[in-house]
Amino acid sequence: MFENHHNNEVRSIRRKVFIVLLGIVLVSILHFMTRTSDQGLHVWHIFFRKLYFIPILAGAVWFLLPGAIITAIAVIGVYALHLLFDWSQFQMERMNQIGEMASFLLFSVVAGVLVTLERRAETKAERVRRYAEREKIATVVASLSETLGARDPDTLAHSQRVAGLAARFARFLKLAEEEVQDLYLAGLLHDIGKIGIRDDVLLKPEVLTAEERQQIMEHPRIAEKILKPVGFPAVSRYVAVHHENWDGTGYPEGLQGAAIPLAGRILAIADTFDALRSDRPYHQGLNPDRQVRKIMAGMAGSKLDAELLQQFWRCVEESPSMDFYEKN
């Protein structure tokens, strides 16, 4: 499931390569099949030859400078093959044909360089924009975290551990760095909705009543309401679904299976793992190597995504000392 993004990228690349090759083939058919014996047809013959610039431009747009040059070389190869069977008897026309091949290569270099420079400028502008946005988000997150920590230090510490664990797991799954950062923020804020829960319920050391559990179950919705106006929809969405269960029995929306965003499923695993191995008012922290694994194995396919859980244990095994919580 987490390979879908990679597979989609591969399919997209193959589709673009196919389109470029198809363009070369179609132009070649039009060019090769147009006779040069008639002056009127010769004009079309030259016109169709100019269409080779289109696949070269497509190669530059989709694959930058290397793609443009490779496409140009392919075009020159096909065009040269044509010349073997239709080499002009006139020296001026032969020079024109050779110059045409040189122009294909020159155009590919110019187009590739220009597109590459434009992409770099776009990337730099996007990086600056994201940095400014992250700075703003970091300020908001720090403020919200301090608010939560002042009320319940244990919940704040738990959130920090979940954030580090979720980020580490996301990197293990080779998610994009932006997704990793969003997951880290979501981990920090996944329990921020507990600000809206009364102290006598939130900090109650005894087992909660059914009514009190219902109040606690509202914290994802409260968190989403708090975070939405701040302006980072991905983070607020991940926070809203971190208590959804794989079998559809979770809350607050009752989502099931792959309908739960991947980040929400990652948070659910990280949250469950840390909750089980940490001391709580109603239970002592469990041994992560034996008890926690056994309990979470029983949740596979019901509360947790079973395939994702297997990947999580591989991530854990990379850090046998349990020193795999990381800060961003």
In this predicted model, what pLDDT tens digit does every residue of 69-86 receive, in sequence order?
A: 999 999 999 888 877 766
What is the tens place of the pLDDT at every residue in 99-120? 888 999 999 999 999 999 999 9
Does this model's pTM top 0.85? no
Yes or no: say if 243 and 213 are a contact pair by the CB < 8 Å rule: no
Phi, psi of 283 (to 5 degrees): -165, 155
CATH, domain range 153-317: 1.10.3210.10
Kindly list the domain boundaries of the chain, sorted by start residue. 4-123, 153-317
**pLDDT over threshold 50, residue 124:** yes
How much is the pLDDT for 57?
Answer: 94
pLDDT tier for residue 135 given thresholds of 50, 70 and 90: confident
pLDDT tier for residue 322 given thresholds of 50, 70 and 90: very low
What is the tens place of the pLDDT at every residue in 176-206? 988 998 899 899 888 888 888 887 887 777 7
Distance between CA atoms of residues 321 and 328, nearest Å:
20
- Degrees to nearest 5, angle at CA 296 with 262 and 271: 50
Distance between CA atoms of residues 320 and 106, nearest Å:
56
Yes or no: say if 162 and 190 are a contact pair by the CB < 8 Å rule: yes
Distance between CA atoms of residues 225 and 237, nearest Å:
10
